[in-house]
Amino acid sequence: MTGATTSGELRLHNLLRLLRAAHDRGGEATRSELTRDLGLARGTAAVLVADLAEARLAQERPAPQRTRGRPTAMLGPHPEGPLALAVDLREDAWTIATAEIGGGLTVREEQPHPGNPPEAVLGDLAAAIGRYLAELGPRIVGVGVALPGPIRDGRVVDIPHLSWRDVPAVEMLSVGAPPVSLGNDAALAGLAEARRGGLRGIPVGLHLHVDFDLGGALLVDGNPLQGARGTTGEFGHMPLGGSTLRCDCGAVGCWALQVGATALLRATGTPVEPGHARAGARRVLAQADEGEPRCVAALEEVARAFGAGTAALVNALDPGRVTLSGVGARIHDQATGMFATAYRDGLMTFRREQPPPVLPAALGADATVVGAAELAFDVFLTAAGLTAWQSAH
């Protein structure tokens, strides 16, 4: 959205601004609010709303009267309007949902999958996507897919846990016309948090997602920072904790080795069974909650490393707020004191006056699907996306 250059682009640009604003506010904003906030003339707004309705992009519905004066209406999704297909592909299962303008989500399907080979997993997933395309037809304007590993140029670079390497996922998931967009799960969880969760309205926010791995995103004005090749946010692979272990990623001493499901198990001295780390970590957290000394000690150790590393990122990146999801949120919840101490001690002195708050993510487990939907809509809510829609209707 670089802005309009010609008087012809102006109309499309303002249409886009209005639709985007309606979407960002969950379809709950009234026309008068939108008109005021976007600085439009009332006449212009009338034309734009009519255009949106005629193009089946959005529709007004009655709004509860709040003050006196002529009643206004809320601008929300159109019953025949665009839908995003949002896919959350985890290590052991996938979720497919549809989202309408405004973000309203309908979960359609959840399926376990064997994990390997990638061709089979993605083939099945592509078939499922194909079914929804057939069912919902041209209303599907894009597919957003969250994946548990780094993404580059439409390919999954590396999921060590599943031994996926350089998998051309966009190619394998492209079924029909709608564009397929990939995103890292942690980054998409952050995106969701920035748009509809705890980072909403925060100019610069940091989201950290801890599970097996540790990743995240820096959200600037609600948009995730994109690296040169799209693989940014791998904060877990900086040697922030002085560890000397070798990491699966190829480097040494990665922070992710000290914070996460595997780290929790390792800290208790329990051997890590591949494929059961998540359940094991849950057990450690539960036992720590009951006061089991070894688990308490492990939790504290992990929380300390987590807090210290978070402080390092805050020092370097200066976010206004930090949100946590995955196991990370539970570690923080259950060892708040230790986390807070390590966090504070790791901050530069001048940051300690008003340290950025660290909070659990507001969206919980849904965050990743929501982020995938936002990703798909981000591709659609552009000049190109809208003109494609309009020429198809």
Interaction between residue 235 and a copy of itself (CB under 8 A):
yes
Question: What is the pairing mode between strands 93-100 and 59-62?
Answer: unpaired
| Angle value at C-alpha 357, between 356 and 362, nearest 5 degrees | 130
Smallest distance from DNA to CB 66, Å: 8
Q: Calculate the CA 247 to chain-centre distance.
A: 25
The answer to whether 176 contacts a copy of itself (rule: CB under 8 A) is: no
Q: Which is nearer to a copy of itself, 81 or 236 (CB)?
A: 236
Distance CA 294, CA 223 (A): 41
Q: Is 14 in the site for a copy of itself (CB under 8 A)?
A: yes
* Direct distance between the N- and C-terminal alpha carbons of the chain, in angstroms, rounded to an integer: 23
Residue 343: CB minimum distance to a copy of itself, A = 11
Give backbone dihedrals phi and psi of 318, rounded to 5 degrees, phi first.
55, 55
42 near a copy of itself (CB under 8 A): no
Burial class (CB in 10 A: 0-12, 13-18, 19+), 340: middle
**Which one of a copy of itself, DNA, none interacts with residue 320, CB within 5 to 8 A by kind?**
a copy of itself
- For residues 368 and 374, what is the distance between their CA atoms, to the nearest angstrom? 10
Q: In what order do the strands lie in the sheet with 105-112?
A: 105-112, 93-100, 83-89, 140-147, 180-184
At residue 145, φ and ψ (nearest 5 deg) are -125, 125
Q: What's the closest the beta carbon of residue 82 comes to DNA, in angstroms?
A: 21
Question: CB of residue 279 vs a copy of itself: minimum separation in angstroms?
Answer: 27
| Binding partner of residue 45 among a copy of itself, DNA, none, CB cut-off 5 to 8 Å per kind | DNA
Q: Contact residues for DNA (CB under 7 A)?
A: 5-8, 10-11, 13-14, 30-32, 35, 39-49, 65, 67-73
Binding map of a copy of itself across residues 91-130, x = CB under 8 A, - = no contact? ----------------------------------------
Which residues touch 124 (CB under 8 Å, ≥6 apart)?
A: 111, 113
Residues within the interface to a copy of itself (CB under 8 A): 1-7, 10, 13-14, 17, 38-40, 150, 152, 157-158, 202-205, 218, 220, 225-235, 237-242, 249-253, 308, 311-313, 315-321, 345-352, 356
